[in-house]
Amino acid sequence: MGFSVSGSAALIFVAAFIGFGMFYTATANSFEQINDARDAQADTTLEQQNTDITVRDVTYNTAPSPDDYVNVTVENVGSTELSVADVDVLIDNEYRTGYRSAVEDDTSTELWLPQETLELNVTVSESTTPTRLKVVTGPGVSVTEVI
Amino acid sequence: MASVSASHLILFIASMMIAASVAGVFTNSIGQLSGALSEQGLDVSSDVRTDVEIISDSGSDAIYDNNGNGNITLLIKNTGTETLAVDPGVMDILVNGQFATTYEVSRVEGSGSWRQGEVVRVEIDPPQDSLNGDVRVQVTINGDEEVLEFRA
């Protein structure tokens, strides 16, 4: 009788050990993934809170150049470094691509740092006069302006 | 005496079989539970990482196409750290509380998946015949709800 009890106890003990091992691995992995996600989200939120931009100047030019264009000067008045590639420009709710941009007259840089101004030159159709402008930054902070 | 050892052997084998089956069921259940927990962890982490913003200019009157095809056009920017698929299946859309079933999703520039900082255009055919007055559109992506209100 003694062998049966200790033998089955040993079997159950080994099973419990294996079970705990599997459960612990799964729990620890999930916990770590969720913790990482929370940290990343907290970082993004902090960045969003620290981002602020303001429109310094908007001009609409119907000048003799082949196409009309809108010139926008936006200043990074927050404390985060923004990416020029992540900036979105909407004119009358139409997403614009292929516009020219310069940060402090530097057209090669991809960085838009605090207290620097970003100049955008957006070509618009000659048939309609643009009325509204929206500039959106990478973290999602945006400004709107009436042209 | 031989009958005693034989019965002991039978009892020993029986107890080991019972213990083995209990152990098998136990590890199997814990294995399934661990699998479910891992999947849930992945789901929750992608829910937490997902963050989108509707960047359409609600002040402009170009969101709802009154005169043309009657579509609502939304521009949605991925501001979270999760890469999403450019697919209607990733989002649920309500227009004035009614579930929209017909909509198309496309990247505004480039191709591939919808990474952080990138924008997609969503063309919604509203479930209502025509929209008047104030309109409320709610987009839900991985549990992240974004609302845009505008005048039609």
Q: Which of B14, B15, B37 sits opposite A26 (nearest CB)?
A: B37
Model confidence pLDDT, tens digit, residues A26-36: 999 999 999 99
Do the Cβ atoms of A40 and B81 come within 8 Å? yes
Considering chain B, what percentage of its residues have pLDDT values greater than 70? 99
Query: How many other C-beta atoms are found inside a 10 Å radius of the C-beta of residue A124?
Result: 21
Q: For residue range A75-88, what is the model confidence (pLDDT) as tens digits? A: 999 999 999 999 99
Nearest to A95 among B81, B108, B116 (CB): B108
Indicate if the pLDDT at residue A1 is higher than 80: no
The 10s digit of each residue's pLDDT in B18-45 is 999 999 999 999 999 999 999 999 999 9
Query: In angstroms, rounded to a whole number, what is the distance separating the alpha carbons of residues A86 and B74?
Result: 18
pLDDT tier at A136 (50, 70, 90 boundaries)? very high
Record: contact B55-A36, CB cut-off 8 A: no
Of the candidates B40, B51, B56, which has its C-beta nearest A30's C-beta? B40
CA distances (Å), A147 to each of A69, A92, A97, A132, B45, in order? 12, 10, 19, 6, 42
Interface contact flag, A1 B34, Cβ < 8 Å: no
Q: How do residues A114-126 score in pLDDT, each as one tens digit?
A: 999 999 999 888 7
Contact state of A34 with B51 under an 8 Å Cβ cutoff:
no
Give pTM, 2 decimals. Answer: 0.86
What is the structure's pLDDT at B3? 83
Distance CA B72, CA B103 (A): 9
Q: What residues of chain B, 132 to 151, have a C-beta less than 8 Å from chain A?
A: none
